[in-house]
Structure 1
């Protein structure tokens, strides 16, 4: 039922934003995946289960999951979920400007976030889902992105306030440096020097916008890439650790477990089997 590999959902040549509809009447086994998923509930109820805990779902509920996040549904009663699958590069390139939106910018970088759509946005989203579910042929990429933005925008009213103000240009610059070379042995001192700020000032600015310090953000990027490789390849855990910048296997296992609550081996054993 659940496709966990990017190649099965966002295949080469296909748009990096895909919509799909599910009707769930019974529990679904926890599963992970290597792309961003935005799950929107339009009918029924359930309990959402993830590394971040459990919470109730109802009409208008939404969950944003980053690559590597695992989740499942329990106590489903007439649950209808519309999944939006998004390639992470969409938020790093054409929608990179969302980083400067105080509340959404933080949500997009947080693991397994519970959201709520307002009534107006939910109504618009449902009309869009009707046209776009099952990856309808001939629908322009711009239309898909527009609906994605409508859904995300419809959650902002329920998000906690974040200090307003323009984002310092060094913050997205630092994020891009980390994203472009996760294998590099970054230190906060080196990263700060690369964007011409002091380490403490960069850490403060970065945390205010991304909800975490730069080195935690780097750890998250490494864990996400490791999760994808665990799902997609037969590479050893040690080899995957080296590929993402964790040369010590024991350290790699601890850091991976910090983000996903499973060791790399346990993650592969459990979630790779939850394929299509």
Structure 2
């Protein structure tokens, strides 16, 4: 979900100081789709909106909580307005919680990564808690917002973590998990992982450069070999370290970038759908429509109609 508050919170800014931050905002216009490199828990407080992501298009209203994994494209179109509180959670922090929650069964952090990939197969979910149960969360999310704005991540860390644990305790029974195993090679090609393992290491310079190249020129006919040559490592090595950093292969990451760019063109220009697809590097309309729908939840034509209805 292109969540209310995204414009004022940059994960690059807050993740250096704390593994979580919360913001409340009211939105009156369509947003997204955008993807963030963090897990997001979004509590709907007032109003309603159409939410579109990998699960298609659904309506959200008070009583709902939205769970979005890292690097999941999502957007929203308010029905008048919607007020939400968004909690942004660092993926490494979330993975460590899995590690310690199942410490009796898991040997180490790598085991936790594999375990999380096994059970969390739906990186975009709407949790229908109901207004009474969601109302229980409000004092905790309000305090979390206040402490996040105060900006004392060290001094307030234990209280922020306690608040998050209380919220997680209420919503966790509603999160869909699966006993079905999806292999890592399948997962990184089709959907983002939740969460992924960064091993608490800085992103490699060549990986950052590869992601920047894809973002700066998504229309280029990229191959893994071309991208690897640009950053001067082997294609197999680039694929491995890129998945470790971003939770998906370079070409899957490129698909996400193209879908986000296409949505922006459909919102902000008068280009035809076909012309907009070609602008972002897709030259087959049927292929582009299928990929856009997989990542955004609606077809490009439907997405443009949604924007036109708000004019």
Aligned residue in 2 for 1:192: none
Aligned residue in 2 for 1:128: 140
Q: Shift of residue 58 of structure 1?
A: 0.9
Which aligned runs of 4 or more in structure 1 are off by greater than 6 angstroms?
Answer: 222-226, 271-274
Specify every segment of 5 or more residues in structure 2 that has no aligned partner in the other structure, as ranges.
106-115, 243-247, 268-311
CA deviation vs aligned residue, 1:224-273 (integer Å, no higher than 9, x gap): 799x95997346862487534289xxx956x617xxxx725515745899
Q: Distance in 1 between matches of 2:185 and 2:42?
A: 28
Map 1:31-46 to 2 at 5 A. 31-46=34-49
Aligned residue in 2 for 1:165: none
Aligned residue in 1 for 2:252: 256
- TM-score after normalising by structure 1: 0.60
CA deviation vs aligned residue, 1:53-101 (integer Å, no higher than 9, x gap): 1111011211111111011111333311111001101122245234689
* Aligned residues of 2:94 and 2:195 also touching (Cα < 8 A): no
User: Secondary structure of 2:136's partner?
Assistant: helix
Q: Tell whether 2:30 aligns with 1:27.
A: yes
Task: Count the aligned residue pairs.
Answer: 215
Q: Shift of residue 111 of structure 1?
A: 1.4
Q: Tell whether 2:269 aligns with 1:266.
A: no
User: Secondary structure of 2:149's partner?
Assistant: coil
The alpha-carbon distance between structure 1 residues 128 and 116, as it changes in their structure 2 partners (threshold 3 A), is same
Specify every segment of 5 or more residues in structure 1 that has no aligned partner in the other structure, as ranges.
163-207
Q: Tell whether 2:8 aligns with 1:8.
A: no
Q: Distance in 2 between matches of 1:232 and 1:98?
A: 33
Q: Distance in 1 between matches of 2:130 and 2:24?
A: 20
- TM-score after normalising by structure 2: 0.54
Map 1:11-160 to 2 at 5 A. 12=16, 14-98=17-101, 108=120, 110-117=122-129, 121-133=133-145, 135-137=148-150, 138=152, 140-159=156-175
Q: Tell whether 2:240 aligns with 1:245.
A: yes
User: Secondary structure of 2:161's partner?
Assistant: helix
User: Secondary structure of 1:155's partner?
Assistant: helix
* Aligned residues of 1:5 and 1:33 also touching (Cα < 8 A): no
User: Secondary structure of 1:110's partner?
Assistant: coil
* Aligned residues of 1:19 and 1:133 also touching (Cα < 8 A): yes
Q: Tell whether 2:212 aligns with 1:233.
A: yes
